Amino acid sequence: MGFLSVLSCAHHWISSRLQPGELAIDATVGTGADTLFLAQQVGKRGQVIGFDIQSEALTLAQARIRKHSEGNKLGSISLLELSHARMAEAVPDAWVGKVGAIMFNLGYLPAEGADTSIITETMSTIAALEAALTLLRPRGIITIVLYPGHDGGAQEAGAVSRWASTLPVEQAQVVIYRQMQRETSPYLIGIEKK
């Protein structure tokens, strides 16, 4: 058996921490794979909020969720056409300090015919990560999949890596999962709040 992909690894890390009935956030909905995964993890009593700036992404996510909802015990899902940078104002106050997991899958919408020039931006991503830390419960987790191989991706990945490496150890534990031989390979950062 080989190593897990960065996406599978992110799911593995979250599934070992996120409990049924908890709150979760998908900061970058995309095609909805992580949104669906989070809704499955939290189960019927849990809740998930997803953010994306593209209506096309939310449409794709809704279709994916509908396809897998029959017979599945999914948590309630709210999809917002909103930048993840506005996470702090969009998430209910009651969620502060209580969210079990927040997923970021940066880059562009990986759908056929999608405009790949629309990408996550460094400033909005860092703002969202700052908000995410305040929303997490103790031992809650943030996963960030970074893609340095596309235009603008290396700059964002570098900035996010620098930001994560400066978090005080008293606040969070930060780990990285990466293939070392290829600089442009996607990689994963995990942040567990203390």
What confidence tens digit (pLDDT) does each residue in 149-158 have? Answer: 999 999 999 9
Entry pTM: 0.97
**What pLDDT is stored for residue 71 in this prediction?**
72
56-68 pLDDT, tens per residue? 999 999 999 999 8
Q: Which residues contact 25 (CB under 8 A, 6 or more apart)?
A: 38, 48, 49, 50, 51, 87, 91, 99, 101, 102, 103, 132, 135
Token pair for 12: 């593995």
Q: Please state, in angstroms and rounded to a whole number, the distance separating the CA atoms of residues 46 and 23.
A: 6
With contact defined as beta carbons under 8 Å apart, do 98 and 23 qualify? yes
Calculate the CA dihedral of residues 128, 130, 133, 134 and round it to 10 degrees: -100
19-47 pLDDT, tens per residue? 999 999 999 999 999 999 999 999 999 99
pLDDT in tens for each of the 194 residues of the chain? Answer: 689 999 999 999 999 999 999 999 999 999 999 999 999 999 999 999 999 999 999 999 999 999 988 777 899 999 999 999 999 999 999 999 999 999 999 999 999 999 999 999 999 999 999 999 999 999 999 999 999 999 999 999 999 999 999 999 999 999 999 999 999 999 999 999 99
Token pair for 156: 């964002």
